[in-house]
Structure 1
Amino acid sequence: MARHNARQATAEAAEEETERPHYHGHRKRLRERFLAAGADALPDYELLELVLFLAQPRGDMKPLAKRLIDRFGNFAEVISADPHALSEIEGVGESALAALKSVQAGAHRLLRQRILNRPVISSWRDLLDYCRASMGFEKLEQFRVLFLDRKNMIIADELMQKGTVDQTPVYPREVIRRALELHASALIMVHNHPSGDPTPSRADIEMTKEVQAAGKALGIALHDHVVIGRDDHASFKALGLL
């Protein structure tokens, strides 16, 4: 009788093992690998799986993660994608969308806090990382101004204009007026090129010269104008345009 019960238990265990989905235990193994070796040990789709685990308590997230990578290209492109475009992917509901965009918001906040209360000169790399994360993946042009005090500390970071896919209307007098309101001593202007090519246009150069001239007359320095592309940036100062 005991042998019969043991055989039955073994058979039931084998049957249960057969019925388990192929991804059984995958979540635990993936979490353990992440905690032991860090994000660099995971391909982009597995890092996305970890994010999607937060949205879906059960189920295989690998197919959805791979669909997202196939559609947008990489982890950064996925979390930076337009919410409407993400929602068009099969399997992306409200919970998954919230999980993905919360990761993007957390990244932005982390990078932004790295540049606050520090002289921009000593945190230039962090500043570029923040600007790329904030603007580099946008489909429309955006124009941002960082307002600085006499110690080159950021006192305000403001998105002043949004435009089309290839143009943003910028009014130099509005930039200088805002600098005066904030009692800023210097500026750094930043805008993105959705095309991916950060090369300054003729309009970019002319507008920059107008802001520089207007600021100089009022004792407000223009330290730089940075154009952000997908994978690179262009600095007016480094190019000798300021």
Structure 2
Amino acid sequence: MHKSDWQEKGEGHRQRLRDKFLDQGIESFTDSEIIELLLTFGTPRSDCKEAARAALAQFKTLPAVLDAAPDELQRIKGMGPKNIFALRFIQGVARRYLRQRIVGKHYVRSSREVADYLIHSMRGLQHEVLTVIFLDAAHGIIDSAVVAEGTVSSNTVYPRELVKAALARNASALILAHNHPSGNLSASRQDEELTRSLHLICSFMHIRLLDHLIIGSGDQVYSFVDQGIMGRIREDCRHLLDRVG
């Protein structure tokens, strides 16, 4: 059976996109072209151009399309389970790549890469999660893990489990990070209380809590250290420990 003119035209277009990437790299692509090519991984014989444009029009940015929930993507004409699988899969690959890339690096020299990983893995989530970056005594990055999901507060995060995870990795220092699904990039009273409680508990175990980061809806990160909150918490805990001692 001869291929239809439409099929030949579509395959030629997709091949041109692949050749364009090999010759000129990802920077030569528009966001719409990137989404289109990703969608074709799921349905290689379908024309995905209009679905890609509709997705970008709906969600506005490439990250927002990749972060979108499957039920949101299914509302777009031309977007089916196989297309959605392709988008979700590439999102998962990107998260694993960014996570594994930071392991073994020195935090201070790689803080931007850590921020990139946290932004990519936590931005767009519809619920709060608490991620911990585990570090050795020289502040080399050992690992990262999600230790709590749901509303992140002193009532929902179990310090014993966090300390247990740190000891299992022989971690000497920690960095906390959680997201604000609302997009608000500031610390709440509950965020400060949680940080104070965890800092105090970690101090008893000779584990340093270096910072607490908040991930909003954009590419910015709120740092307790940069805002001076971490310094106040350390001072408060030092006075408390001095009284106990």
Indicate whether the TM-score tops 0.5. yes
- Alignment-derived partner of residue 129 in structure 2: 142
Number of residues of Structure 1 aligned to a counterpart in Structure 2: 227
4+ runs deviating over 6 angstroms: 16-22, 165-168
Gaps of 5+ in 1: 1-15
TM-score, L = length of structure 2:
0.83
- CA gap of 1:165–1:241, structure 2 versus 1, over 3 A, is closer
* CA distance, structure 1, for counterparts of residue 7 and residue 162 of structure 2: 62
* CA distance, structure 1, for counterparts of residue 205 and residue 195 of structure 2: 16
- Alignment-derived partner of residue 42 in structure 2: 55
Q: Alpha-carbon deviations, 1:27-73, whole Å to 9, x = none?
A: 23222322222222221111111111212222321111012112222
Matching of residues 78-227 of structure 1 within 5 Å: 78-164=65-151, 169-227=156-214
Q: In the alignment, residue 76 of structure 2 is paired with which amino acid?
A: I
Contact 1:144 1:157 in 2 (8 A): yes
Contact 1:190 1:225 in 2 (8 A): yes
* CA distance, structure 2, for counterparts of residue 92 and residue 20 of structure 1: 18
Contact 1:140 1:166 in 2 (8 A): no
- Alignment-derived partner of residue 233 in structure 2: none
- Alignment-derived partner of residue 235 in structure 1: 223
Gaps of 5+ in 2: 231-245
* CA distance, structure 2, for counterparts of residue 120 and residue 163 of structure 1: 27
* CA distance, structure 2, for counterparts of residue 214 and residue 177 of structure 1: 12
Identity, in percent, stands at 37
Q: CA deviation at 1:17?
A: 11
Q: Which moved more, 1:138-147 or 1:172-181?
A: 172-181
* CA distance, structure 1, for counterparts of residue 79 and residue 4 of structure 2: 30
- Alignment-derived partner of residue 70 in structure 1: 57
- CA gap of 1:122–1:240, structure 2 versus 1, over 3 A, is same
Q: CA deviation at 1:140?
A: 0.8
* CA distance, structure 2, for counterparts of residue 31 and residue 123 of structure 1: 32
